[in-house]
Structure 1
Amino acid sequence: MQTTHLVLITTYLLVMVGIGLYYSRSSKVRTGEDFLFAGRSLSTPVMIATLIVTWVGSGTIIGGANFAYNYGPMAGMIFFAGTPLGILVLLFAARRIRRAARHTVPELLEARFGSGVRTVAAVVTTIAYVGLVASQFVGGGYVLSLITPLTTTQGALIVAAVVTILTVTGGLFSVAYTDFVSAILVFGALIVAVPLILVAVGGLPVYWEGLPEAARTPSGGLSPLQLLGYFLPLFLLLLADQNLYQRLAAAKDERAARNSTLGMLIASFFVFVPVIMLATSAAVLMPGINGDESVLRLATDGHLPTLIGGLLLAGAVAFVVTTGSSFMLSGASNIAFDLFARFSGGKVGERGTLVVQRLSVVAIALVAVALGLYFPTVLDLQMYSYTIYGAAITPAVLAVLFWKRATTAGAVAALITGTGVTIGWEIAGAPGGFNGVIVALPAAVLALVVASLLTKAPDRRTLEAAGVD
């Protein structure tokens, strides 16, 4: 156990908790709106930081690294390509999203498709986001188990406690500003680590020759359908990620929302390219290890200088904390705004909604801890959660933004079909080795189109009510 590593991570966690407590003051967070949108006052630099580190969590530094470790750099680029491609789509839709700002994605769907769709979408979103929170807890447990005598489960419990405290105190105020601090740490650690690891490997020619033969191919030994099964979930989640939509809604205006999205696009390359290089270098230096630990073991096994390794591990924890708190906050908004406030008849008031959000954060944390014990790896957990959201919610959201002919029946059909097929595919054991998105997405899109064409088209008033006409 490296004392330097432990000190750096402990210091980082204490700073994060301190920021959360600072923004828990009643003068900052008075209502559910403040808790969720930070008073719609976030500057562009803070927006860029919170967008990128919200998106790149343990699914990048652990799950994505696992994929790159096992299948090579070119396949890794295909896996992560969903991020910049999805951001490009968001770039064109950013102003529409800001203009149609709602508390949640299900609320956006309600404006177009009605209250029944909102309820179904809220349940689906919460299920998916609990899974994503669980993946962050498990990822954090990996980090702590590598540098302390703690087991992965014990480490996950500590991370869960820190993330919950951070989220339940200041809401988006604390999440956004801890994201800003974390972004500086993450970018610095990744950019410095890559050249040092390439030197440790022996240079680029040695790195390339040291990779397994299959890992030097574009597919990494996977079939085209298998590779597509890894690309699509990330891409689809980003297209309609409620987290990102809420961040864009928290921007000061439409221009800030668009500029922040452009900044996120540029920043994304400074995250996933270094992660791919580090993970595949680990495949050369440490063949046969658990791919989930590939980037982390570069630090703990002495392949990096102690200080840089400590910063890299702290950066990994930063990924976990920032993304976990974001998905936790977003899932709590579904429970508070889409379910509780709606079915309570609006009698709870702003302060009551704030209390429900905070209680929901705690509930999500408890369920996420239990779910994290079920899935064997972060990559498995993230693929499952991404697919539920991407196959069920994304087709309906894109229909709101881009297809005026979509109807309520089509949206309901897509939500139920996407969720049902994903869960059924997982229970069946992923036949053929394909991720569920390969069957769930076409099934959901087909259900959306067929049901919409078989029912009456929405009138212009309905389209205007959604705010995207």
Structure 2
Amino acid sequence: MNVVLLIVILYLVICMLMGAYGKTKTHTAVDFLIANRRMPWWVASLSIAATLIGSGVTLGVGELGYSIGISGVLYPLCLAFGLIICMALAAARFRQSDAYTVPELFERYYGVESRVWVAVVNTIPLISMLAGQFLAGGVVLSAVTDMPIHWCIHITAMIVILYVCIGGIWAVSLTDCFQTIVIYSGLIALAVVTCIKFGGWSTLLSQLPPGHSNWLAAGRYRLSSYIGCVLMFWFISQPWLQRCAASKSPQEARKAGLLASLLIFPIGFLAIFAGLVARLKLPGIDPTQAVPLAMLEFFPPIVGGVFCAGIIAACMSCSDSWLHASATIVVKDIYERLFNSNASDKKMLAVSIAVCGAIGGLGWLLALIASQEIVALVLLFVAFQPIYIAPLFSAWFCHRRRLTRWAAFGNVAVATGLAAAFTVYQPWGLHPVIPTALVAYGLTALCLILPYTSCSLKEKTTIKCENM
């Protein structure tokens, strides 16, 4: 049997064992969803980082390095900068609120209608992104093992769904820690080995096409999407804030988030370097395979196999977090809030596991039948992220006025429609998240000024805010 395949199998078995260990810490629904709020800050930090790294910052940045050069590194740099801002603003606040989900927090300010709307708008993108990660993991597994891609998707999806259902957030976070360490080790080792063989940045770039040295080669659409990652406050959403909710205290939540941000900065340079080396020494390959093929080319089979398994695991780190986050939203914001508010803990745990399985199965199916459309789905739904950020920020930081209940609901509903329209028409050739964010923020600001869509907190008109 292929050495790399054996290593990948062993790696996946280790992930399953870590999921089983997570089961020993999971006895209640609170354990399953938020680790009973006793997760150490360093575990939360590595899990946040792993959720962000995923296939986009490993395979994706390596692909950009291979295709367009150093401008691809702007993507992870913008992500890291955006994560720092989001964690500084939201990590401690969210933990202090004792909320499970972002939509739950939304209800406290604006009512159940807004909570359910935001829950749905949050869940649909996570399912499509989950499918994309299953597909990405399957592609890499197929490349390094020569197995058919549909079988590789089956393996990736099945392993992730199983260990998430077995151990909940503990299984997700512990495997994330392991996977972050492995992928970092692999990219650092690859950078060191290739620097020794081929020289550093300047030497490498001098041997590549001139465009690979252009920091703006990514083009308007890509660059606007990178800026949009900061502008839309992408990380004030369930996959990242759920680790904050699981932390022991608001202070530890902020510490975890900020450390995770710092971990993102160097990995972009490591991944882009791998793509540049692959372009120089492995011309003609599929750009999506730049990082794994470089690792297999420049390392002995055993070492390269371990690091390639780490790349597969990076895809799994994203998918397990998105699966668990989407299940938490469905369980807390839809099932418990609308259908069974008096459910016992045993019932909630059973429903949480069942919902994880159902959502995982849906993502699995999408990865198999819509492989050509997954990227389009992800790009479509990313634009919907900013619709609730401005109302949430106004509740946090505006101490004089607050949106009324129905103004907030109308705000997020209109912003959702605009996000769909901008996604279809893409004004000025920009990524739809840019105009969506600007219009959504402007709409909230306007509603705060108008007398019938907002109320004064100084006049103690809380009842007016709730009823209007």
Tell me whether 1:80 sits opposite 2:70 in the alignment.
no
Please state how far the C-alpha of 1:59 moved relative to its aligned partner: 1.9
- 1:459 paired residue number: 457
> How many Å separate the matches in 2 of 1:432 and 1:317?
36
Please state how far the C-alpha of 1:202 moved relative to its aligned partner: 5.0
8 Å CA contact 2:402–2:457 kept in 1: the answer is no
Q: What SS does the corresponding residue of 1:457 show, helix, strand or coil?
A: strand
Please state how far the C-alpha of 1:201 moved relative to its aligned partner: 4.1
Q: RMSD of the alignment, in Å?
A: 2.6
Runs of at least 5 residues in structure 2 that lack an aligned partner in the other structure: 463-468
423 and 295 in structure 1: CA distance in 2 versus 1, 3 angstrom threshold: farther
- Paired amino acid for 2:145: T
> How many Å separate the matches in 1 of 2:331 and 2:26?
16
Tell me whether 1:239 sits opposite 2:238 in the alignment.
no
> How many Å separate the matches in 1 of 2:417 and 2:188?
41
Tell me whether 1:369 sits opposite 2:364 in the alignment.
yes
> How many Å separate the matches in 1 of 2:212 and 2:428?
21
2:225 to 217, 222, 229: 229
8 Å CA contact 1:111–1:462 kept in 2: the answer is no
Q: What SS does the corresponding residue of 1:34 show, helix, strand or coil?
A: helix
How does the TM-score come out when normalised to structure 1? 0.89
Q: Which moved more, 1:145-154 or 1:380-389?
A: 380-389
1:262 to 250, 258, 264: 258
> How many Å separate the matches in 1 of 2:192 and 2:391?
43
Q: How do 1:45-64 and structure 2 match up within 5 A?
A: 45-64=42-61
Q: What SS does the corresponding residue of 1:24 show, helix, strand or coil?
A: helix
> How many Å separate the matches in 1 of 2:283 and 2:240?
36
276 and 457 in structure 1: CA distance in 2 versus 1, 3 angstrom threshold: farther
Please state how far the C-alpha of 1:91 moved relative to its aligned partner: 2.4
- Paired amino acid for 1:17: M
8 Å CA contact 2:224–2:430 kept in 1: the answer is no
Q: Which moved more, 1:234-243 or 1:259-268?
A: 234-243
8 Å CA contact 2:4–2:145 kept in 1: the answer is no
> How many Å separate the matches in 2 of 1:462 and 1:86?
35
> How many Å separate the matches in 2 of 1:426 and 1:158?
33
Tell me whether 1:307 sits opposite 2:305 in the alignment.
no
Q: What SS does the corresponding residue of 1:16 show, helix, strand or coil?
A: helix
- 1:354 paired residue number: 349
Tell me whether 1:420 sits opposite 2:417 in the alignment.
yes
Q: Which moved more, 1:371-380 or 1:85-94?
A: 371-380
Please state how far the C-alpha of 1:146 moved relative to its aligned partner: 0.4
> How many Å separate the matches in 2 of 1:433 and 1:153?
35
Tell me whether 1:448 sits opposite 2:444 in the alignment.
yes
Q: How do 1:103-122 and structure 2 match up within 5 A?
A: 103-122=100-119
> How many Å separate the matches in 1 of 2:384 and 2:362?
17
Q: How do 1:320-331 and structure 2 match up within 5 A?
A: 320-331=315-326
Q: Which moved more, 1:170-179 or 1:281-290?
A: 281-290
- Paired amino acid for 1:229: S
Q: What SS does the corresponding residue of 1:335 show, helix, strand or coil?
A: helix
Q: How do 1:21-100 and structure 2 match up within 5 A?
A: 21-25=20-24, 28-73=25-70, 75-89=71-85, 90-100=87-97
8 Å CA contact 2:57–2:268 kept in 1: the answer is yes
> How many Å separate the matches in 1 of 2:388 and 2:31?
26
8 Å CA contact 1:137–1:369 kept in 2: the answer is yes
Please state how far the C-alpha of 1:277 moved relative to its aligned partner: 1.5
8 Å CA contact 1:292–1:377 kept in 2: the answer is no
Please state how far the C-alpha of 1:193 moved relative to its aligned partner: 1.1
Aligned length: 456
- 2:249 paired residue number: 253
> How many Å separate the matches in 2 of 1:353 and 1:421?
36
> How many Å separate the matches in 2 of 1:7 and 1:160?
19
> How many Å separate the matches in 2 of 1:400 and 1:324?
31
> How many Å separate the matches in 2 of 1:68 and 1:450?
42
The percent identity for this pair of structures is 24
Please state how far the C-alpha of 1:321 moved relative to its aligned partner: 1.5
Please state how far the C-alpha of 1:431 moved relative to its aligned partner: 6.5
Please state how far the C-alpha of 1:374 moved relative to its aligned partner: 2.9
Deviations 1:345-375 (A, max 9, x none): 4132222121221111122122213333435
8 Å CA contact 1:63–1:379 kept in 2: the answer is no
Runs of at least 5 residues in structure 1 that lack an aligned partner in the other structure: 464-469
- Paired amino acid for 2:387: A
Q: Which moved more, 1:132-141 or 1:87-96?
A: 87-96
Q: What SS does the corresponding residue of 1:171 show, helix, strand or coil?
A: helix
